[in-house]
Chains A and B, each alone.
Chain A
Amino acid sequence: MFNAITHSQIYVLDQDEALDFYVGKLGLEVNADVDFGPMRWLTVNVPGDPDRQIMLERPGPPSLSDETAGQVRELLTKGATGGHLIFSVDDCRKTYETLRDRGVEFTEEPTERPYGIDAALRDPFGNSIRFTQLKES
């Protein structure tokens, strides 16, 4: 049966802008960036964790019709496509400060939760990202 998650996917409006954000600001690494004709296969991963790739996909033909791609873009920019990523960090407040200084748009400042400390931000397109410093058990 299944033994790991290797790929997950979120929609982005522009893959170059997505690279600037996910790699340039959030510090992820490019795992694959391949133009194979109909689409640009672009994935990133947390440094040191190449077995878990996040695919940054641009909605559009031929995968989706122009009309459907337009609907996806509309939902994405309303924060409604369900694109959620949750990362773990060693130090939530320090990561928050680093990312804030890089101009990242935060939706929640570091907050104490029953499970640890976490903060939340959005990517430039509307996807929701959260990072958590889990309580030591």
Chain B
Amino acid sequence: MEDSNRRLLRARDAMDRAYAQPLDVPALARIAHVSPAHFSRAFRAAFGETPHRYLQRRRVERAMFLLRETGRSVTDICFEVGFGSPGTFSRTFRAIVGRSPREYRREAAAVDVPSCFTRAWTRPAD
């Protein structure tokens, strides 16, 4: 159990690093030492959500950061964090955060804590 968790955590870390890339299930499954067919199930059993959902929330968290901390355009941020189109980005963002990216930007304030904690705690909840 512990070895399997640790390998899945390694795969999750790889997703966190390469969040702007498409979800590469075969590569992640190799890191986790499971078959591609079982990766999603094993990931969900360990972390309580599918890899796809985890990646979406990671991308939205990055987008929230860029909306808060930079003046870059919403479209720019959408592509920067790995979404394929502004429409998908807006829909996903609103579904997860409950507000549009522009509304979020207006209301958000910058936070000044080490980035690992910002990342973990500003992750949008399910």
Contact = CB atoms under 8 A, between A and B. Distances in A.
A84 interface: yes
A77 B13 contact: no
B17 interface: yes
A105 B110 CA distance: 30
B9 A77 contact: yes
A13 interface: yes
Contacts of B117: 84
Q: How large is the interface on B (under 10, 10 to 19, 20 to 34, 35 or more residues)?
A: 20 to 34
A91 B89 CA distance: 37
Interface string A58-84: 000000000000000110111100001
A79 B9 contact: yes
Interface residues of A, number: 26
B1 A122 contact: no
A114 B112 contact: yes
Contacts of B46: 78
Interface in B59-106: 69
Interface in A16-40: none
Contacts of B47: 78
Given A78-B46, A107-B13, A108-B17, A114 B6 contact: no
Interface in B1-60: 1-3, 5-6, 8-10, 12-13, 16-17, 46-47
Nearest to B4: A77
B6 A126 contact: yes
Contact of B9 (A108, A114, A122): A122
B17 A77 contact: no
A63 to B, nearest CB: 18
22 contacts: A13-B2, A73-B2, A76-B2, A77-B1, A77-B3, A77-B6, A78-B8, A79-B9, A79-B12, A84-B116, A86-B114, A105-B10, A105-B13, A109-B17, A114-B69, A115-B114, A118-B114, A118-B115, A122-B9, A122-B10, A124-B6, A126-B6
Closest 4 CB pairs of A and B: A77-B5, A77-B6, A77-B2, A107-B13
Given A78-B46, A108-B17, A124-B6, 12 more contacts: A73-B1, A77-B1, A78-B8, A105-B10, A107-B17, A114-B112, A118-B114, A120-B116, A122-B9, A122-B10, A126-B6, A128-B116
